[in-house]
Amino acid sequence: MTKRFSLKVFSLMAISFMLVACGSTSIKRVDTNEEVAVSDRWNDTDSRLVSEEMMADMLTFPWFREFQFSNSGRPTVIIQTIRNKSHEHIPVDTFINDIKRSLLRAGKVDFVVSGAEREDLRAERTDQELNAAAGTAAAFGEEQGAGFALSGSINSIVDSDGDKRVTFYQVDLKLIDMQTNREVWNGQKKLKKVAEKSFF
């Protein structure tokens, strides 16, 4: 075996080893409450923490005490639209579900469904009216009305200069009294993330 041939074989083996090493992926399971920040983008931890903090703030405003003083039971909320106006794709449904879980866990607010989900339920009641056994069908005209409507938006600003990028998020939510159109709560949460060049 010539020296040149041996060198070529060694070089090919070294390149193959490097390609295999670079192509391998290490996976490990982590606790779902642990933040794993691989970029400066909005993530599941942001969604959970923002929803929990904003809903806790919402329940400290006077509207909630006034409702409890004047009514029995819990206030009923419908979520209208929370718009993603940020520079990136944010799964708004995940954020909405975090909001619902936060309030339902506290046991202080009831939710009613809206939009397509509500229409699906009405179609199911129609089907039950025709096909379900007597006395087992869900009745029409028994839906619980919403007393309050929650809506808002997620906005962002990105500023970068050389090796550093700063991403700013602002979540604005408001709660409207459905009967009076009064804005009874206005909440705001700001996040700022700094990413160094290795994140870009």
Q: What is the pLDDT along the chain (200 residues), one digit of tens a residue?
A: 555 656 565 566 666 555 555 556 666 665 556 656 667 789 999 999 999 999 999 999 999 999 999 998 999 999 999 999 999 999 999 999 999 999 999 899 999 888 888 888 888 888 888 888 888 888 888 788 899 999 999 999 999 887 888 999 999 999 999 999 999 999 999 999 998 876 55
User: How many angstroms separate the most distant Cα atoms in the chain?
Assistant: 96
Model pLDDT, residue 47:
95
- Tally of structural domains, the chain: 1
Q: How far is CA 102 from CA 21, 56, 86, 129, 175, in A?
A: 43, 8, 23, 35, 16
Does residue 5 lie in a domain region? Answer: no
- The CATH number assigned to the domain holding 60 equals 3.40.50
Output the pTM of the full model: 0.75
Does residue 160 lie in a domain region? Answer: no
Does residue 19 lie in a domain region? Answer: no
Domain that holds residue 118: 40-129+144-154+175-187
Does residue 35 lie in a domain region? Answer: no
Residue 199: burial class (beta carbons within 10 Å; 0-12, 13-18, 19+): middle
Does residue 148 lie in a domain region? Answer: yes
Does residue 196 lie in a domain region? Answer: no
Does residue 194 lie in a domain region? Answer: no
Does residue 192 lie in a domain region? Answer: no
